[in-house]
Amino acid sequence: MTARPLRTALVTGGASGMGRLVVDRLLAKEVEVIAVDRNADALAGLPDHDRLRTEPVDVTDDRAVQALAERIAGDSGPVDRLVLAAGIASGGPLLDEERQRFRATMEVNYLGVVNWVRAVAPAMAERGSGEIVIFASTAGWVPTSAMAGYCASKAALVSFSESIAIELEPQGVRVVALCPPAVKTPMLDDFVSAGALPRKGLEYFKPIAPEVVVDAIEPALKGRKIFCFPGRGTATIQRARRFAPGLTRRALRFFDDG
């Protein structure tokens, strides 16, 4: 079946960070955009646009997500592209981290993606066309000290993305998982303040601009690979962890501030 042209896109975490940048890019492409975020005040701060619809919802509430997806399908028609950018930072030594924060990280970063895929992907598969873009991370490939909860949530996304990509490809649904390194966003500042990312390491491995990540989406969707590693040298980091895990761990210890 021939893929539908991109007409409608839904972006989670669309009120801030890279999700907000995705919204801006899509609006510039003459696409109808639904920006979803749990922060209603931040959504209200988005520019008034006749092709932008905002919907406050918590991605961890599977029933609310399903209800919203059904309402959007009835009001706006099929979602052609689902961009899953909602996420939270979680960092610091595991033994010091609050249990609820650890749980929330997995619920937002991983299960929030699962909820939206389950709500939107069936209609994509039924009509034989659709695109799903998942914001994962190199943290899902390279476990890092003082980031156990965040790395675990992103590792779950890496595995989930590959599984559904294989499952949905025969039904005409394209799945891409973005796996950037550190990105210059407010979330990065949260990690540093929590002691999760050593400043010494960030001085050597410079964080990339959000635009580098977002601008990688279109080329990645046109390709055949499931995983996209935005930024120069990012794929090398993933390969190093895969083929030389011991050396990678020693390198990470070298860049630790301690």
- Identify the CA nearest to 229 among candidates 166, 160, 156, 158: 158
Residue 1 in any domain: the answer is no
Distance between CA atoms of 145 and 105, rounded to whole angstroms? 16
pLDDT at 196: 59
Residue 48 in any domain: the answer is yes
Is 110 among the residues known to form the active site?
no
- Identify the CA nearest to 109 among candidates 154, 142, 61, 56: 154
For the segment 235-253, the average pLDDT, to the nearest whole number, is 76
Residue 3 in any domain: the answer is no
For the segment 22-49, the average pLDDT, to the nearest whole number, is 95
pLDDT in tens, 86-137: 999 877 777 777 788 889 999 999 999 999 999 999 999 999 999 999 999 9
Edge-first strand listing for the sheet containing 227-228 = 52-56, 32-37, 8-12, 81-84, 130-135, 173-178, 227-228
Residue-number span of the structural domain to which 31 is assigned:
8-254
Candidates 141, 150, 227, 229; catalytic one: 150
Point out which residues pair with 174 in neighbouring strands. Answer: 131
What value does the mean pLDDT of the chain take? 89
Helix (H) or strand (E) holding 81, with range, is strand 81-84
- On whether the CB atoms of residues 47 and 35 are closer than 8 A, the answer is no
pLDDT in tens, 165-209: 999 999 999 999 999 998 988 777 776 666 556 555 565 568 899
Residue 2 in any domain: the answer is no
**Ramachandran region, residue 233 (left: φ > 0; alpha: ψ -120 to 50; beta: rest):** left
pLDDT band for 146, please (50, 70, 90 cuts): confident
- CATH number of the domain bearing residue 58: 3.40.50.720
Residue 185 in any domain: the answer is yes
Residue 26 in any domain: the answer is yes
Distance between CA atoms of 42 and 39, rounded to whole angstroms? 5
pLDDT at 204: 59
pLDDT band for 252, please (50, 70, 90 cuts): low
Please count the structural domains in the chain: 1
